[in-house]
A and B are shown apart, each in its own frame.
Chain A
């Protein structure tokens, strides 16, 4: 049987190297998701403040994040900061900074949306029961916000994981970069490129697919039904 090139994956420690690269990918993604979750909640609360200054500030942040390609931001922080301020930021740190800057704004907007989508009757009927403001938050608003937010937050997480592929552009050796290194070593076997990229694809897929399934399942499970709003 002719060697189709797939054996490249299992030669030497190639497969372990890919897994190690995947770990770098996940490490960046996980730290980013954690930071975005915490700061995103603060960002969301800031967006809900009546103060026009804080709302304007959030609006601006969110717009920048939405219009600016992540790659440009990465270059700006990794190369730009080095030139301008003489900060030689580590690639991984730059990546976490840029992705968290993005994730915080997106997560904050999701949080704000989830909280404001709860009908005001919910707060009022809880107040009418004589619950304190803290009790209303704890038993009524927070659980419902979490249920609305969770599926969307998970979807954002898969987007963050996928976007980490960009960090190879600032010399972080994550899974895609490792793959390219392997391909480089086996330049005499053209089929190697296909199998290595396929393996990288599969690794992303195996991580993101179950997460996405989870989001869909949660969404269905937490649906309150159309009657919740009332006609």
Chain B
């Protein structure tokens, strides 16, 4: 089957520093890919290039049979098909929750407000915010805001949803309420490209994991392969940085790599 998105050898640099150095990937309908990697590896830039917030310096991006890189005038039409949610709370602070939700569908897609309102209400209830339709964003918690932002993106009926570290600015106890919504979307068959630092979530939601480092995709595989037995040394080191070990509790090591355990035993 033809992929929804094809990224071919894209390049991007800021002030002469290569941030993306030849990245290629394909996403198929209903597929969820998770992109992980150390800070500055280019994963957020990759998402921003896909929906045209950054212009690429080389390569091509295709959405189904339309080349979307290099577009100037009709960029907004492409963005109507690609949803994106960011790290920071980017609800429009001067609008109530419902008005935030209605803006895109009614102004960009010109859908009748009443029809969208009913759908928006339905989705708000689904994410547990049915009673907050008339609230102003500043009265919501961070987790609630991000759930609203997800609903806002979904109401555009995007072909592809990009999530750029959407829980990175949240207090830990709010992370799961947001990520559960994402898992719910995945189960409904939404096609997504997700950048995250939440490894357990990545393992749970991904069909495919891409590990990026220094502007290239260094490794790619199913979550089972990648998290159990990363093939590259760089990925192994990256995953290790998420585990902690204390010399006081030798022998009770968390799930690290095999090597480390051998070292400890000798």
Contacts and interface: CB of A to CB of B under 8 A. Distances in A.
Interface of A: 119, 121-122, 124-133, 135, 139-140, 143-144, 147, 222-225, 227-231
Interface stretch (B88-96, B198-206, B222-230): B88-96
B104 A131 contact: yes
Contacts, number: 89
Nearest to A144: B94
B76 interface: yes
Contacts of B152: 129
A152 to B, nearest CB: 17
26 contacts: A119-B88, A119-B90, A121-B86, A121-B90, A125-B92, A126-B92, A127-B79, A128-B82, A129-B79, A129-B152, A130-B77, A130-B78, A130-B81, A131-B76, A131-B103, A140-B92, A143-B94, A224-B93, A224-B138, A225-B138, A227-B138, A227-B145, A228-B137, A230-B89, A230-B142, A230-B169
A127 to B, nearest CB: 6
A228 B76 contact: no
Contacts of A126: 92, 103
Top 5 A-B residue pairs of the complex, sorted by shortest distance between their CB atoms: A130-B80, A225-B138, A129-B104, A125-B90, A230-B88
Nearest to A224: B93
Nearest to A126: B92
B95 to A, nearest CB: 8
Contacts of A122: 90, 92
B169 A231 contact: yes
B93 A124 contact: no
A139 B92 CA distance: 9
Nearest to A228: B93
A131 B93 contact: no
A147 B94 CA distance: 9
B93 A127 contact: no
B27 interface: no
Given A139-B107, A228-B93, A128 B138 contact: no
A124 B90 contact: yes
Given A224-B93, A225-B93, A127 B103 contact: no
B133 interface: no
Contacts of A129: 79-80, 103-104, 108, 152-153, 156
A124 B51 CA distance: 10
Q: How large is the interface on B (under 10, 10 to 19, 20 to 34, 35 or more residues)?
A: 20 to 34
B107 A135 contact: yes
B84 interface: yes
B83 interface: yes
B53 interface: yes
Contacts of B53: 124, 127-128
A150 to B, nearest CB: 12
Contacts of B79: 127-130
Given A121-B86, A128-B79, A139-B103, 7 more contacts: A129-B79, A130-B77, A131-B76, A133-B76, A139-B107, A222-B94, A225-B138
Contacts of B153: 128-129
A127 B107 CA distance: 12
A133 B108 CA distance: 11
Contacts of B80: 129-130
Contact of A130 (B104, B138, B169): B104
Contacts of A231: 169
B77 A227 contact: no
A190 B137 CA distance: 61
Contacts of B149: 125
B76 A127 contact: yes
Nearest to B162: A128
B8 to A, nearest CB: 22
Contacts of B90: 119, 121-122, 124-125
A224 B94 contact: yes
Which has the most chain A C-beta neighbours within 10 Å: B109, B138, B156?
B138
B143 to A, nearest CB: 12
B88 A131 contact: no
B93 A130 contact: no
Interface in B101-130: 103-104, 107-109
B92 A227 contact: no
Contacts of B91: 125
Nearest to A128: B84
Contacts of B156: 129-130
